[in-house]
Structure 1
């Protein structure tokens, strides 16, 4: 805090808060809060000033006489920090006919047997390896078990990989220590795993008790009379008491189960006993002690117990009639189905604010930076079955039935480390005249200061065939890859869904014509072009629309070409400027007109209301009513409602959306400031329609509370029956795109 007196003798303050590079989030917030509290305590009218390390203002530096030094160190954050979970890599052999069982194996390739299925748990990568002689049912059980591990223990972050015999990846063999020459049977035919032993840890009179629990129960055998009861070893979840601690000895693994209401002393004793148990008794080297807290048990531990979180069984011997009969199994299936119907929904996008439009200055700065990095651009257009070079005078002209390819070369500056630059500055020699030594100059000239990257943009019109993309991938792309190995990136785009960096190279003169390139100037029909900016000056396009007066709008600019009937390639071109159009956009429309047409056409800029009757209204097809405002541009938003993620979610399209963003198999919500249209595609499911209707109602209620001056009304519209209030929110609305051949 800096205090000073003004001319009248009053106290004034300057309050700064300084943030170091390595400061934690809680310290950043506290410094800002305390700075504001200090200002309020003093009753100061000044604002608090944020200063960051290495970017201090001159006023802040003058407080310390421009002598600021930094000291390393500081206290730790007050927040709890979450460390990444460390996973132990394990290899399990899958066996068992009725219930799935896992046998831990040594982590090496020689443990693989072609008769079995193996599960390799490598943390966030779970491999299911199926031997050449293994059954398909074992693979299915192992995959379901891996899904359980991923869902309950890895929070869905793990990737499940299913390599088969002789199709393994190098990463798989790297985990197992290398690929063997041959995979041979290694498990004895009479192999039997020892029965698990369950111990209960307790406190006696001054000593620990470890009694073994007998979990033999008498069950009816299916193949014998009901009176013949046979004792079987069955571990059940009901054997575990929440007030106790248990040790489950499975020979290869030792599990310690800790009840939530157990005492702390018994817990510590159980952990110590588990470690000593592995040390005293003979156990394999790959055996481990695994701690399980009640409610967070690992999936391997649950598999030791009968019917604990088991996968629903499927009996393939039952017919349709027996399945239709009511039974306990059918009731269980019905309950599981009801639980699955309670899907989660993500409606976050509906409550986020509308994306603000980009300032013109920011867009121009981006455009300038991207064009500075551009070293050169070559264009190609598909003519027949080959790509021909596009003349430079046609750059910026695109056609809805053509495909274009642009090869752009960008400079990339080479980043040097500060330490390396410092060492080089020490080695520089200076002669008596104060000039740098010639040897150093030659050495610096040899050092590359810039590198380059090539990006190929493939542009496809709405009415163009996919053959253009196939022709490109099998011809031109291979040539580019051979010329620029390792430095080539391919970006595929469709009409009105272009990359912003690609649009910047045409400096807002991006023109889309109807039809094919060769037939653009053929014919004597008038043509109308609409100039429009969607959310950013980078997204400015001049697109040919239907020659209809009803498409005019007082807040936009249009270009109308009226050819002479008797003379080819001659006529008059008008730039129509609406009375509420932006002056910069009007100037741009005039530049586009001069760029589009040569001197054979007479050019004229006319304002709304000054149209000549003889050519303009006749060329546009007669005078009709049209929109006089474009308020919808300030509110228009497009949302997509879909189940493609496995659950219902709503996502928002960018402000530069187009007609092709309307997905035929989903529901789209369009907000124009007055109405919220629920657009239904032809392939939409009934479930999506019901959920989207609820989401639309939620959005309308939210906007009513947030923007009470503009209450929205719900409107339902089906594909192909869109009203004018809906279509005008899209630039150059036309017929829906047919699937390309």
Structure 2
């Protein structure tokens, strides 16, 4: 230890000495030597006499350094939504017909050419404001410059003032279409498939638009578990999902450099790394409707101007006509969401449960939340509200270069340091679950009592997720390992000794498996599902017999799951039996469920069922599709819903919908039927109209646990 060494360096040397001993597995002790008082053993290590040199490093610990910004010059183009193209950082890149943005880090210049538009300058200014707000923490200074009015420091950045600024960009200039690649690991090699985001020819023909919109990337193409390379010629972006594997991240960074080396690129091309949630503004601008700079309806803005000139009526009529013409029917032409295979669902379930460190449950009893016994986890009631506090381990994320450098150089902290770091890496999520027939007072009670308590216990690490019955979060469902049971009524309500029937069904993914109590009626049975029937003895509800009914076409894995659910639902006071379809005992089973023995023998609708929502909520008519795990509560009363069951397309009309929505939805329904007729010629659909409250059986059976529509409770 040098004579003038600071305290932080002394501490740093002690820490590294311990780390080195652990790394080498050394059993000797660490010996402290001080300048001018070295031991003979230490001096013997060196052949010559020890000499002291003045100076040293800044610190023994990591220090915060000023951010280094790469100076870039962008040409701004685009009419509706602007985009930026990187050009060489020199004055000859300027063109009087365009707006340019010079980004030096803490000073951003907006240069407007003599023939450039004012609208383009305004949008470029707004773009710079977003860069300053999101990337520079508001510390950057933005300066707007007119051609021939530039200050000297502007030309210093571009390497000197030119004699003349000439037109050099071709009139038919079209920017290079970005290419999106997904980085993947194959069997011993890297995969780099290109993602095609073009609109299909079929889509163009069906929409029947005279002029197709500009093809742009969509944010939905980026999966949080993946790593992507976006090649824009002069800019190569590496996008890293937060849940992506570390090995794929490292491979993507290397591939990004290789793209610039192997393929022809201008000298000013750069590779930029973007972590999910912290993307730079230039990267976002490559995608459609991702934090767009300016969203203005110029027709409506002109309305107020024309009003002063006495032309209000004409402009209003034109605006209404424009709104009527605008429609988004894209969802009708997209393929049906494929079901998730069981192995993939089980893997997701396992990963989410590995991250779960602990879970505590609470249920609303009266006006207070009481702790829920662990044996009741997975049991929910339609008239109750539940709260689950889940603590998750969060993997350490290497967001900056210092941490990556630390990992590459094999920096290993001591055991105490590691334990302390791991304990800090956790997140708490509070799931609030509300039954279909529960009052909203449960949510109000939670926000004013339990939520405040949790926020004080876990400041800055708490997330609240509100859910209603059958619209649960997939991560929440995974914690119950497919044993998610919904009973009718309240948790501690005294139940009459009446038979009860439960339907086990999987919607699109094994993660969405639910066991829901339905009406005790034999017509609710189906040969492709499993059911649980409880038949209590007449004297008491605490004793009786329980059947697991397995349909002849039911999935074998689901049949085994049904037996496991029956065993965890009822204790030994009940006699339990697994019976196959056609082997039902007359005395108890059919007497308990009804003696008609008439029910559906197929569930082909599960292969085709799709639910679409038709709405004017966005200010124009748009069709969107619900996920395959849809439920009865997805039927919005103020909208039109389209349900396809493979044979019929039902147009469901709510009680609060408008006549305009009905007319547009009818047209959309006809377009969809025509599209499906050309796509699936063997199963032509028929159009059916149905009003809320008059749904036929072929409609209701597409929904798990169909019942009376819920009414608002106080």
TM-score (norm 1): 0.56
Tell whether 2:360 aligns with 1:378. Answer: yes
TM superposition shift of 1:175: 9.4
Tell whether 2:322 aligns with 1:349. Answer: no
**Retained in 2: the 8 A contact 1:412–1:450?**
no
In 2, the alpha carbon distance for the partners of 1:160 and 1:526 equals: 66
Between 1 and 2, higher relative CO (CA 8 Å, sep ≥ 6) is seen in: 2
TM superposition shift of 1:379: 0.2
Pick from 662, 673, 678 the counterpart of residue 635 of structure 2: 662
TM superposition shift of 1:334: 6.5
In 2, the alpha carbon distance for the partners of 1:152 and 1:702 equals: 44
TM superposition shift of 1:523: 1.4
In 2, the alpha carbon distance for the partners of 1:732 and 1:473 equals: 29
1:7-406 maps to which residues of 2 (within 5 A)? 83-84=83-84, 154=123, 311-314=304-307, 329=311, 332-333=314-315, 335-337=317-319, 339-406=321-388
Specify whether residues 501 and 443 from structure 1 end up closer, same or farther in structure 2 by C-alpha distance, changes over 3 A only: closer
TM superposition shift of 1:734: 0.4
**Retained in 2: the 8 A contact 1:413–1:449?**
no
**Retained in 2: the 8 A contact 1:635–1:673?**
yes
**Retained in 2: the 8 A contact 1:414–1:450?**
no
**Retained in 1: the 8 A contact 2:323–2:620?**
no
Aligned residues: 454
Tell whether 2:666 aligns with 1:693. Answer: yes
**What per-residue deviation string (whole Å, max 9, x for no partner) do you get for residues 702-732 of structure 1?**
1011110110011111111100000000001
Specify whether residues 614 and 604 from structure 1 end up closer, same or farther in structure 2 by C-alpha distance, changes over 3 A only: same
- Structure 1 stretch 576-585 or stretch 564-573: which is displaced more? 564-573
TM superposition shift of 1:366: 0.5
2:170 aligned partner = none
Tell whether 2:545 aligns with 1:545. Answer: no
Specify whether residues 420 and 353 from structure 1 end up closer, same or farther in structure 2 by C-alpha distance, changes over 3 A only: same
TM superposition shift of 1:695: 0.6
Specify whether residues 388 and 738 from structure 1 end up closer, same or farther in structure 2 by C-alpha distance, changes over 3 A only: same
Tell whether 2:474 aligns with 1:500. Answer: yes
In 1, the alpha carbon distance for the partners of 2:165 and 2:344 equals: 66
Specify whether residues 476 and 444 from structure 1 end up closer, same or farther in structure 2 by C-alpha distance, changes over 3 A only: closer
Tell whether 2:711 aligns with 1:729. Answer: no
1:418 aligned partner = 404
**Retained in 1: the 8 A contact 2:549–2:581?**
yes
1:469-508 maps to which residues of 2 (within 5 A)? 469-508=443-482
Specify whether residues 657 and 634 from structure 1 end up closer, same or farther in structure 2 by C-alpha distance, changes over 3 A only: same
Larger Rg: 1
Unaligned 5+ runs, structure 1: 1-79, 87-121, 124-148, 162-168, 178-246, 250-264, 269-298, 317-327, 429-438
Specify whether residues 736 and 152 from structure 1 end up closer, same or farther in structure 2 by C-alpha distance, changes over 3 A only: farther
**Retained in 2: the 8 A contact 1:378–1:407?**
yes
2:439 aligned partner = 465
Specify whether residues 266 and 382 from structure 1 end up closer, same or farther in structure 2 by C-alpha distance, changes over 3 A only: closer
In 1, the alpha carbon distance for the partners of 2:121 and 2:571 equals: 68
In 1, the alpha carbon distance for the partners of 2:119 and 2:486 equals: 49
In structure 2, the residue corresponding to 1:413 is in which secondary structure?
coil
In 2, the alpha carbon distance for the partners of 1:266 and 1:389 equals: 74
2:24 aligned partner = none
TM superposition shift of 1:329: 3.9
Specify whether residues 661 and 678 from structure 1 end up closer, same or farther in structure 2 by C-alpha distance, changes over 3 A only: same
Pick from 581, 585, 608 the counterpart of residue 612 of structure 1: 585
1:23 aligned partner = none
TM-score (norm 2): 0.58
1:539-578 maps to which residues of 2 (within 5 A)? 539-578=512-551
In 2, the alpha carbon distance for the partners of 1:395 and 1:672 equals: 34
Specify whether residues 702 and 598 from structure 1 end up closer, same or farther in structure 2 by C-alpha distance, changes over 3 A only: same
**Retained in 2: the 8 A contact 1:550–1:627?**
yes
**Retained in 1: the 8 A contact 2:615–2:639?**
yes
In 2, the alpha carbon distance for the partners of 1:395 and 1:346 equals: 43
In 1, the alpha carbon distance for the partners of 2:579 and 2:407 equals: 60
**Retained in 2: the 8 A contact 1:344–1:648?**
yes
**Retained in 1: the 8 A contact 2:605–2:645?**
yes
Specify whether residues 450 and 566 from structure 1 end up closer, same or farther in structure 2 by C-alpha distance, changes over 3 A only: same
In structure 1, the residue corresponding to 2:492 is in which secondary structure?
helix
In 2, the alpha carbon distance for the partners of 1:152 and 1:614 equals: 83
In 1, the alpha carbon distance for the partners of 2:649 and 2:562 equals: 32
Unaligned 5+ runs, structure 2: 1-76, 87-108, 111-117, 149-163, 168-293
In 2, the alpha carbon distance for the partners of 1:447 and 1:490 equals: 25
In structure 2, the residue corresponding to 1:517 is in which secondary structure?
coil
1:225 aligned partner = none
Specify whether residues 334 and 625 from structure 1 end up closer, same or farther in structure 2 by C-alpha distance, changes over 3 A only: same
**What per-residue deviation string (whole Å, max 9, x for no partner) do you get for residues 393-452 of structure 1?**
000000000000000001112235331024444xx8xxxxxxxxxx95666566547611
In 2, the alpha carbon distance for the partners of 1:540 and 1:533 equals: 4
1:454 aligned partner = 428
